[in-house]
Every structure is written in C-alpha cells, then in structure tokens.
C-alpha cells in the first residue's frame, strides 16, 4: 500500500551496502522481517502500512564487484519522534538474504516544509506575474480617456509631413518642439498648436509658418537643440 501523498509528513532516506548480490524483494523482506516485534505493536511496519501510516517502501539496488549498493526511501505519516524511531530501527538490520548488510539513514525530509518552500516561491511568481494591474480609480478614468484622445489628434503637416497638433493652421501662435514624442506630450496636456522640426535643420514648412505666426521654441538644451 502506498500512503496518500497528502498525508505523508516525512521521507526517510537511507543507503544500503550488502556483501553479495541481493535484489529489491530481499531488501524489503529484510526490513519487514528484522524489525518485526522490535518496536511493539504500535510501530509494527506491517500494521503501519496496512493503515496507511507508512507508505510503499521504495528500493533501488544494483550490484557491482560482488557487492550490492542501493537507496531506500520510506514515506511516513507518523509524528517526528515515531519517524525517528523507525529510522533508527532500519539501521539495526544486519543481513539481507544470506548476505551481511549495513543500512545507514542519510536524512529525514520534512515533506511539509518542502511544500511550504515551494508555496512561498510560487507565491512570489504569482504576485509578480499573475496579478492584474491595480484598479483604476473612477475619478481618473476621464483623465485617461482625454489624454488618449488628445494623443490621437496628432497630424502630419506640410510637405515634410511633420508631426503636429490639429490647430497649427488656425492658431496665431505655434510652439516648435524637436520630435514626435514632444508633440504627443503637449497634446496630452491640451496644447494643440504644436509642431516638431524632426531633426537638426529647420524645415521649410516651419520657416514659412514663422513668417505668419508668433513662434515659441521648446527645444532641448543639447547641441541639436
């Protein structure tokens, strides 16, 4: 019988060395046979397995050079003290079949602690990747819509198709900026009489506009500006 994975509290890991060739059934038989009656009825392995408090004993064994080497894993739903007693009992096994053998417990894993660690790591991923964007406050919705609408008002003006706001023609004054991004930023704030030079040379279109309109230049403080 295999203990349900959701009830397993601990996993006992042990290694085995046998002075001869043995197989998995030999190891399992030795574990049940040589611990029988050793710990009383309450910790009898056969009874514990029948009630699901001990899971299926897993054994991996291989032989090399006339000796056998392997790993043993025992799932336990017992408490910490009972699991420790059971682990110590495994180390009393001295023979597997006709061969002298030695079992040494390597570690006892707290399955719940491992699960908690996985939960914490997964929760970090969920928090970072799966939560939706924060809810937009109702009073900000109008502002967001207005900003988006203004950004869509950008047009291409003149023979150079310069990025511009929609009121460049009808305004008595214009604001000259460097690039398309600057035009978008001003449109978002409601300034619509804006046009970009899109480069370091002043386009013919802006030269002509400057003859008819008041021009204010908003340029960067670098060499290009």
215: β partners: 174
The pLDDT value recorded for residue 222 is 63
**Helix, strand, or coil (residue 157):** strand
The pLDDT value recorded for residue 123 is 86
CATH among 3.90.1150.10, 3.30.1540.20, 3.30.70.1890, 3.40.50.300 for 10-111: 3.30.70.1890
pTM over 0.75: no
Question: C-alpha angle 214/217/220, rounded to 5°?
Answer: 180
- Residues 90 and 213: their CA atoms lie apart, in Å, by 96
Of 81, 79, 73, which Cα lies nearest the Cα of 13? 73
What are the boundaries of each domain within the chain? Answer: 10-111, 142-218
Residue 45 neighbours by CB distance under 10 Å: 21
Q: Provide block-wise average pLDDT over 10 residues at a time, the chain (225 residues).
A: 66 96 95 91 90 92 95 94 95 94 95 86 82 64 66 82 90 92 86 89 91 88 58
How does DSSP assign 104-125, residue by residue?
EEEEEEEHHHHHHHHHHHHHHH
Of 127, 128, 180, which Cα lies nearest the Cα of 155? 180
The pLDDT value recorded for residue 1 is 46
The pLDDT value recorded for residue 2 is 47
74: β partners: 12
């Amino acid at each position: 019988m295999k203990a349900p994975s959701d009830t397993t509290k601990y996993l006992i890991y042990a290694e085995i060395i046998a002075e001869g060739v043995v197989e998995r059934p030999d190891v399992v038989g030795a574990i049940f046979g040589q611990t029988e009656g050793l710990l009383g009825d309450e910790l009898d392995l056969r009874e514990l397995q029948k009630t699901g408090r001990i899971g299926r004993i897993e054994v991996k064994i291989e032989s090399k050079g006339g000796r056998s080497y392997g790993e043993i894993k025992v799932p336990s739903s017992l408490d910490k003290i009972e699991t420790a007693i059971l682990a110590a009992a495994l180390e009393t096994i001295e023979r597997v079949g006709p061969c002298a053998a030695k079992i040494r417990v390597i570690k006892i894993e707290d399955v719940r602690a491992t699960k908690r660690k996985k939960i914490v790591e997964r929760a970090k991923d969920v928090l970072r990747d799966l939560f939706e964007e924060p809810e937009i406050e109702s009073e900000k919705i109008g502002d967001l819509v207005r900003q988006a609408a203004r950004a869509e008002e950008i047009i291409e003006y003149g023979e150079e198709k310069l990025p511009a706001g929609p009121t460049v023609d009808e305004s008595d004054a214009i604001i000259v900026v460097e690039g398309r991004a600057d035009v978008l930023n001003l449109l978002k704030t409601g300034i619509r009489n804006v046009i970009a030079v899109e480069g370091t040379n002043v386009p013919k279109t802006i030269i002509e506009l400057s003859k008819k309109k008041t021009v204010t230049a908003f340029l960067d403080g670098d060499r290009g500006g």
